[in-house]
């Protein structure tokens, strides 16, 4: 088997492994190896083949990263559409500056800060 064919086979095996073992992120490696194999089959030398592989890997990883990122999202918890503006928070237990408050179904332990204690006296 020629070196170009080895590159193609290795690339296809990496792509197949990506499908069998999710989250390994071998698809860019496999794609770069297949492109390198085609370049070697077209007459590319060994040094140039490694350059094609490294460049192809960088491009494939960058493209996969860009595609996985998707559209920019705002933080849903602190965003204006979260439904928190105007919501009522209920103090359930509060003694000595520490206690619990409830907001919808969430119960959180809270503590009054020193500045808040000073401002109410």
Same structural domain for residues 8 and 50? yes
Range of the structural domain that residue 109 is part of: 84-119
Contacts of residues 53-62 at CB distance under 8 Å and 24 or more positions apart, as own/partner, are 53/7, 56/31, 56/32, 57/28, 57/29, 57/32, 59/32, 60/27, 60/28, 60/29, 60/31, 60/32, 61/28
Asked whether residue 97 is domain-assigned, the answer is yes
Percent of the chain with pLDDT over 90: 31
Q: Is 77 part of a structural domain of the chain?
A: no
For 59-71, write each residue's pLDDT tens digit.
988 888 887 776 6
Residues 7 and 61 in one domain: yes
Domain assignment present for residue 75? The answer is: no
Give the pLDDT band of residue 24 (cuts 50, 70, 90).
Answer: low
- Rounded average pLDDT over 27-53: 93
Domains contained in the chain, number: 2
| pTM recorded for the entire structure | 0.55
């Amino acid at each position: 088997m020629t070196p170009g064919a080895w590159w193609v086979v290795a690339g296809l095996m990496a792509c197949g492994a990506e499908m069998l073992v999710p989250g390994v992120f071998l698809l860019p490696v496999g794609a770069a190896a297949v492109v390198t194999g085609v370049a070697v089959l077209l007459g590319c030398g060994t040094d140039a083949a490694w350059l094609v592989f490294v460049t192809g890997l960088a491009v494939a990883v960058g493209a996969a990263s860009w595609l996985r990122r998707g559209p920019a999202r705002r933080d849903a918890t602190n965003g204006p559409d979260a439904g928190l503006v105007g919501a009522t928070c209920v103090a359930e237990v509060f003694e000595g500056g520490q206690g619990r408050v409830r907001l919808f179904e969430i119960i959180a332990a809270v503590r009054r800060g020193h500045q808040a204690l000073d401002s109410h006296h």
